[in-house]
């Protein structure tokens, strides 16, 4: 068995779900190994994402773990056997791994929801806006790495294009729309791009204005990616040490409710378009 040196976040998620199933069934790693005819260390490797497993073995484990959710098991099988070598693999070894994990997560998502308060969401950024964001980093990025990050961010937009685009819903605070990350021309072009994107049937953009009373959710920034089944949803949050991928069921429930609360106070898409249009006139 060839072990992976660096499993992707998707592979780790599959491994995590298999471990959760085993633990909920009350079986030990040694007992699970006996069911498959392998050693306990091999189960540990599978449950850490270092080793894969076939559809037949995965379904056998799920049966022994008394998992009766067929849709969930089918989704796990797809994760185990249907890996795609996506465009993000071209950046492996050239950009930090979380950049690749985020792109892979977005690619496989059944829907994407985003709430941002200080920046325009990544999939909606223009090239000049993204370049201004990355150029502000301390320590300063070398020119070639900066351009790599910009190119990667632009390719992430592919989930919003093509014949089967991913449904995308973004909630953006007025602060993010008014902060001139780049120069005035960059800001105007970014707002125009938001208006253009919001005209798509699969893209919904909502704005939270400054004058909204009683809004205390400015710390609620998140990317919510829908999985093949709700159990496989994922939340991504940016932190001081990079992105955090959240998949615990209790936390997912809390973030679904948090997004609902933020959405409930935002302007409807049509009013948001009018709001953004008024901002463009001020630049």
Query: Which residue ranges make up each domain of the chain?
Result: 9-81, 87-282
Q: Residue 241 has what pLDDT?
A: 63
**Which whole number is the average pLDDT over 69-81?**
96
Would you say residue 141 has pLDDT above 60? yes
Element spanning 209, H or E: none
92-128: pLDDT as tens digits:
999 999 999 999 999 999 999 999 999 999 999 999 9
Which among 21, 153, 148, 139 has a CA at the least distance from the CA of 75? 21
Q: How confident is the model at residue 80 (pLDDT cuts 50, 70, 90)?
A: very high
**97, two tokens:** 């791994």
Above 70 in pLDDT, residue 137? yes
pLDDT exceeds cutoff 90 at 177? yes
Strands 112-116 and 222-225: antiparallel
β-partners of residue 229 are: none
What mean pLDDT is predicted for residues 124-150? Answer: 96
Question: Taken in order 10, 13, 18, 21, is the CA torsion positive or negative?
Answer: negative
Residue 27 has what pLDDT? 95
pTM metric for this prediction:
0.94
- In this model, does residue 20 exceed pLDDT 80? yes
Please give the average per-residue pLDDT across 150-164, as a whole number: 96
SS3 64: helix
Write the class of the CATH domain 9-81.
mainly alpha
Average pLDDT over residues 39-53: 94
pLDDT at residue 5, rounded to an integer: 82
Contacts of 32-38 spanning 24+ positions with Cβ under 8 A: 32/61, 32/64, 35/60, 35/61, 35/64, 36/60, 36/61
Q: Which two tokens stand for residue 88?
A: 């993000």
Q: Between 3.40.50, 3.30.460, 1.10.3470, 3.30.870, what CATH number should domain 87-282 receive?
A: 3.30.870
pLDDT of residue 82: 79
Q: What is the pLDDT of residue 1?
A: 57
Task: Answer yes or no: is pLDDT of 184 > 80.
Answer: yes
140 DSSP assignment = P
Distances from the Cα of 280 to the Cα of 191, 197, 276, angstroms? 6, 15, 6
Tokens of 74: 């089918």
pLDDT digits (tens, 9 = 90+) for 192-212: 999 999 999 999 999 999 999
Share of residues in the chain with pLDDT > 90 (%)? 90
Q: Which of the four pLDDT bands, split at 50, 70 and 90, describes residue 240? A: low
């Amino acid at each position: 068995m060839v072990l992976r040196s660096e499993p992707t976040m998707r592979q780790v998620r599959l491994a995590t779900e298999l471990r959760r199933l085993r633990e909920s069934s009350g079986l030990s790693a040694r007992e699970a190994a006996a069911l498959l005819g392998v050693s306990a260390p091999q189960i540990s490797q599978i449950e850490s994402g270092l080793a894969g497993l076939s559809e037949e073995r995965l379904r056998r484990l799920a049966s022994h773990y008394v998992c009766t959710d067929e849709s969930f098991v089918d989704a796990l099988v797809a994760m185990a056997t249907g890996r795609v070598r996506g465009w993000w693999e071209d950046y492996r070894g050239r950009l930090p791994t979380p950049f690749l994990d985020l792109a892979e997560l977005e690619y496989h998502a059944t829907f994407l929801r985003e709430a941002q308060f200080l920046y325009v969401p990544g999939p909606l950024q223009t090239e000049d806006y993204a370049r201004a964001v990355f150029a502000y980093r301390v320590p300063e990025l070398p020119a070639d790495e900066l351009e790599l990050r910009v190119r990667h961010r632009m390719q992430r937009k592919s989930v919003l294009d093509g014949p089967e685009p991913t449904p995308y819903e973004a909630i953006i605070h007025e602060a993010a729309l008014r902060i001139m990350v780049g120069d005035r021309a960059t800001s105007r072009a970014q707002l125009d791009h938001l208006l253009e994107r919001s005209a798509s049937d699969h893209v919904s953009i909502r704005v939270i204005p400054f004058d909204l009373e009683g809004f205390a959710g400015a710390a609620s920034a998140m990317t919510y990616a829908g999985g093949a089944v709700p159990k496989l949803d994922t939340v991504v949050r940016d932190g001081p040490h990079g992105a955090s991928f959240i998949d615990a069921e209790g936390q997912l429930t809390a973030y679904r409710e948090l997004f609902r609360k933020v959405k409930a106070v935002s302007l409807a898409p049509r009013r948001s378009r009018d709001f953004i249009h008024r901002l463009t006139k001020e630049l």
